[in-house]
Amino acid sequence: MTALAACDSSPTTHPTSSWGLQRRHANLLAALARQPSLTRREYQLLAGISHTTAQQDMAYLVAAGHIVRLGSARASRYALSPEPGAGPH
């Protein structure tokens, strides 16, 4: 079992951090620090979460400026933002 898979996706089990991130969000950021990019499917499998949860997590982190989306549709990959936490302006 990977570190991501060990995390329960329930927000009641894992309260948010001082940055407003759930533990699985922090684990996704840590995974992206170890490898250049991930697809939504790769994150879904690593974390042991549903397609919808993976999609929502990644959309949240993109909107918050923590990660960026590279490509579009099925070719989408996600990487750490060059300006973490910048968020949309």
Per DSSP, the residues of 33-77 read HHSS-B-HHHHHHHHT--HHHHHHHHHHHHHTTSEEEES-GGG-E
Q: Which CATH number fits domain 23-80: 1.10.10.10, 3.40.50.2030, 1.10.1200.10, 3.30.2320.80?
A: 1.10.10.10
Q: Please, which pLDDT band fits residue 29 given cuts at 50, 70 and 90?
A: very high
Longest pairwise C-alpha distance within the chain: 39
| Per-residue pLDDT reduced to its tens digit, 63-80 | 999 999 999 988 899 999
Q: Quote the CA–CA distance of 20 and 38 in Å, as a whole number.
A: 22
The angle at the Cα of 77, spanning 57 to 13, to the nearest 5 degrees, equals 20
Q: Please, which pLDDT band fits residue 22 given cuts at 50, 70 and 90?
A: confident
Quick check: 59 pLDDT over 90?
Answer: yes
In this prediction, residue 83 carries a pLDDT of 78
